[in-house]
Amino acid sequence: MSLAIFDLDNTLLGIDSDHAWGEFLVEQGAVDPVSYREANQRFLAAYQDGTLDIHAYLALALKPLADNSPEQLAAWHQQFMASKIEPHVLPKGEELLARHRERGDTLLIITATNRFITGPIARRLGVDELIAVDPEVAEGRYTGRVSGTPSFREGKIERLDEWLASRDVTLDDAWFYSDSHNDLPLLEKVDHPVAVDPDATLERIARERNWRIISLR
């Protein structure tokens, strides 16, 4: 039995769920349509370029969680799952999860998108183990701040090491599937790195290192 680790956005999903949630909030009138959309696009471009300031981004992304009640957020997320996520669940991604599940592997999603967004998505995909950015909660409401280390770039390794230390699981013979060059630190740590519909930078590096390249589209 091995550990099979999966990035979520643009890997198992055909979209970036974090960016899609921002667009959904604009459509609901929950945020300023001009300034929020501009910032959302700017941070997405920075992520793609490898220059994202994760804490600056999270200050934007987590504020709507603090500004709205848990009941409103839950109602919105239900709509979000139906309208934005379900159409972009990749059947080949589900088949890949099923193959690892049938092998008896431990399935883990690790993502830089926050747990409010990704928890229901992981459940939809049948993956029990999730490492995500954890929004801070106080007295039953989100504060708009992050709790602990964001699971982004090297932060994914830190959070994974914490996760491994609490379980009888190792990285021996582990797999990691990702589309993004931002995940190079973790791709370099596993025995089976796989580039999934990779961005240009990751595709170049994967070819140089003879890593497997696949498409789930």
pLDDT given for residue 168 in this prediction: 83
pLDDT given for residue 1 in this prediction: 85
As a residue count, the chain comes to 217
pLDDT given for residue 74 in this prediction: 97
Question: Which positions are annotated as active-site residues?
Answer: 7, 9
Q: Which amino acid is at 13?
A: L
Nearest to 105 by CA among 180, 194, 206, 6: 6
Phi-psi region of 153 (alpha: psi -120 to 50; beta: other; left: phi over 0): left
Rounded CA-CA distance 113/160 in Å is 15
Rounded CA-CA distance 183/207 in Å is 16
Backbone angles phi, psi at 178, to 5 degrees: -155, 155
Q: Which run of H or of E encompasses 24? A: helix 17-27
Rounded CA-CA distance 22/33 in Å is 10
Q: How far is CA 211 from the centre of its chain?
A: 21
pLDDT given for residue 95 in this prediction: 98
Distances (CA, A) of 8 to 15, 48, 115, 199: 9, 15, 12, 14
Rounded CA-CA distance 8/4 in Å is 13
| Cβ neighbours of residue 131 closer than 8 Å, sequence gap 6 or more | 108, 109, 110, 111, 151, 156, 159, 160, 163
Three-class DSSP category at 5: strand
| Sign of the alpha-carbon dihedral angle for 181, 187, 188, 194 | negative
Rounded CA-CA distance 201/48 in Å is 10
Interhelix angle 33-49/54-61, nearest 10 degrees = 150
Residues of the chain where predicted confidence (pLDDT) is lower than 70? none
Over residues 113-160, the pLDDT tens digits come to: 999 999 999 999 999 999 999 999 999 999 999 999 999 999 999 999
